[in-house]
């Protein structure tokens, strides 16, 4: 890979880099064809700040109350070397957890530097895989390559070793009421956990071990009912892992995207910000509204240019190389002659137009 670090620093301007996390990686892989998000995330651009500067603030976000509640619940579960968590795993899930060793990797020798923390994580995981020693690893710093660039993951997660296999334990503050949790929240937790599982598996492979030593079974820890008492549930993330690996393989390499951009492009706030953002191709779909800070800006852009993406990802994919609604209508009416590669799509559009006309006339 070419050395793209200076170009990425220029795109970010004077702002400090934003690090990838499991949520951003899961969201990025849901739309791997979006060069705009790929470049902005690789450069560590604060997309929320950019969206606000453009007048299109993100339509989502976590409240400070929810963040405080989540931090308090996590601290409770991890207190005294994860004593409550271990009791939960033994009694709730019936796991034969022996005497444990606990390592907190959030700070190493008073240093929060990523390289030092990642190096310490590698050493401890290598020792655990070789000897079976070490049970709990709190805040391991993992690394995962995203579009040709390394991304560091700083999970609020524990790598838990049991009978020679490592598991991810994901702690969330949403409630499990009568054994059921909000499906969308569970699905989001599964996608994020799959990112951690994949990062741990790739670390195991780098260390010369079978990636399957990292289990696909994740333990999800949440408050039970309306109390702060935690409960644990096994969660199989194999479907999410399969999607994640497939989508990561499809992501366009960042250096290939950068090669097509102007040499002076930057996302610093200013009069030229909107023009700079539009210089990088987006792949908007309504699904972006749930996970990308730039979604409102990209939606406005897609509507203005009549992009088929504004109608939904499935519509855009069905239309193939037809990028605008105007072109699709012209092909359906027969007023636009299709190229050879669009001949089949044009015929399908004309057939759909005939069916529509027949249905309207029948209703009349």
Tell me: the pLDDT tens digits for 81-97? 888 888 888 887 777 77
Q: Which one-letter DSSP state was computed for residue 230?
A: E
pTM: 0.75
Output the pLDDT for position 319. Answer: 67
Cα separation, 99 vs 89, in Å, equals 13
Q: E strands along 44-174, which residues?
A: 102-104, 136-138, 142-146, 149-153, 157-162, 165-171
pLDDT value of position 318: 67
Dump pLDDT digits (tens) for 260-298: 888 889 998 888 999 999 999 888 888 888 788 999 999
pLDDT at 72 > cutoff 70? yes
What was the pLDDT predicted at 20?
77
Query: Residue 209: which of 127, 291, 314, 134 has the closest Cα?
Result: 127
Of the two residues 316 and 294, the one the predictor is more confident about is 294
Cα 180 to Cα 197: distance, rounded to the nearest angstrom: 24
Residue 5: what pLDDT? 63
Q: How many helices (H) and strands (E) does the chain have?
A: 14, 8
Which of the pair, 158 or 221, is modelled with greater confidence?
Answer: 221
**Six-digit token pair at 344?**
């089949």
Q: How many CB atoms lie within 10 A of CB 164?
A: 9
Residue 3 is encoded by which pair of tokens?
């050395």
Would you place residue 47 in the very low, low, confident or very high pLDDT band (cuts 50, 70, 90)? very high
pLDDT of amino acid 61: 63
Task: Please report the pLDDT score of residue 296 as a whole number.
Answer: 93
Q: Which pLDDT score is estimated for 309?
A: 61
For range 39-57, the mean pLDDT: 90
pLDDT at 2 exceeding the cut of 60: no
Which residue did the predictor score with more confidence, 241 or 4? 241
Q: Average pLDDT of the chain?
A: 83
- Crossing angle of helices 35-42 and 22-29, in 10° steps, is 160
**Tokens at residue 217, please?**
């079974």
Give residue 311's pLDDT band: very low, low, confident or very high (50, 70, 90): low
> Which residue's entry shows tokens 């059921």?
180
Residue 184 has pLDDT above 90, yes or no: no
**239-267 residue pLDDT tens:** 999 989 988 887 777 888 888 888 889 99
Rounded to an integer, what distance in angstroms lies between the CA atom of residue 262 and that of residue 283? 20
Torsion region of 6: left, alpha or beta (phi above 0 gives left; psi -120 to 50 gives alpha): alpha
Q: Measured between alpha carbons, how far is 223 from 33 in angstroms, rounded to an integer?
A: 37
> Which neighbouring-strand residues pair with 146?
149
Percent share of the chain, pLDDT over 90: 25
CA angle 254, 295, 302 (to 5 degrees): 90
Helix (H, G, I), strand (E, B) or coil at 218: strand
What's the confidence (pLDDT) of residue 1?
43
Question: How much is the average pLDDT of 194-206?
Answer: 95
Q: What is the pLDDT of residue 335?
A: 78
Q: Does position 109 have pLDDT exceeding 70, yes or no? A: no
**pLDDT value of residue 329:** 74
The answer on pLDDT for 147 being more than 60 is yes
Let me know: does 234 contact 217? Beta carbons within 8 Å.
yes
Non-local (6+) Cβ contacts of 352 within 8 A are 332
Q: What is the mean pLDDT of residues 34-46?
A: 87
Q: Given this model, what pLDDT does residue 200 score?
A: 94
Structural domains in the chain plus CATH codes: 64-245 (3.90.320), 306-363 (no CATH)
């Amino acid at each position: 890979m070419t050395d793209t670090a200076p170009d990425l620093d220029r795109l970010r301007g004077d702002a400090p880099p934003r690090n990838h996390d499991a949520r951003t990686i899961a969201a990025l892989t849901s739309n791997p064809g979006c060069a705009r998000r790929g470049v902005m995330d690789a450069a560590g651009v604060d997309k929320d700040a950019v969206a606000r500067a453009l007048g299109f603030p993100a339509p989502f976000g976590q409240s400070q109350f929810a963040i405080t509640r989540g931090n308090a619940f996590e601290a409770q579960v991890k207190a005294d070397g994860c004593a409550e968590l271990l009791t939960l795993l033994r009694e709730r899930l019936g796991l034969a957890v022996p005497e444990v060793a606990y390592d907190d990797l959030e700070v190493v020798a008073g240093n929060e530097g990523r390289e030092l923390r990642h190096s310490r994580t590698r050493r401890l995981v290598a020792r655990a895989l070789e000897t079976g020693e070490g049970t709990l690893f709190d805040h391991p710093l993992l690394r995962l390559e995203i579009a040709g660039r390394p991304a560091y993951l700083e999970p609020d997660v524990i790598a838990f070793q049991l009978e020679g296999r490592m598991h991810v334990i994901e702690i969330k503050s949403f409630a499990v009421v009568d054994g059921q949790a909000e499906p969308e929240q569970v699905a989001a937790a599964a996608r994020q956990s799959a990112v951690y599982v994949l990062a741990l598996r790739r670390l195991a492979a780098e260390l010369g071990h079978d990636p399957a030593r990292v289990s696909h079974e994740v333990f999800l820890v949440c408050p039970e009912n309306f109390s702060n008492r935690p409960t644990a549930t096994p969660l199989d993330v194999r479907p999410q892992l399969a999607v994640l690996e497939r989508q990561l393989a499809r992501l366009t390499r960042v250096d290939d995207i950068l090669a097509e951009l102007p040499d002076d492009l930057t996302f610093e706030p200013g009069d030229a910000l909107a023009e700079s953002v539009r210089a990088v191709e987006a792949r908007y779909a309504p699904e972006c509204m749930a996970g990308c800070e730039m979604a409102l800006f990209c939606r406005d852009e897609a509507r203005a240019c009549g992009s088929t993406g504004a109608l939904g990802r499935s519509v855009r994919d069905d239309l193939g190389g037809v990028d605008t609604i105007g072109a699709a209508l012209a092909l359906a009416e027969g007023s636009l002659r299709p190229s050879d590669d669009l001949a089949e799509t044009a015929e399908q559009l004309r057939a759909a137009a005939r069916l529509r006309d027949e249905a309207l006339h029948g209703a009349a």
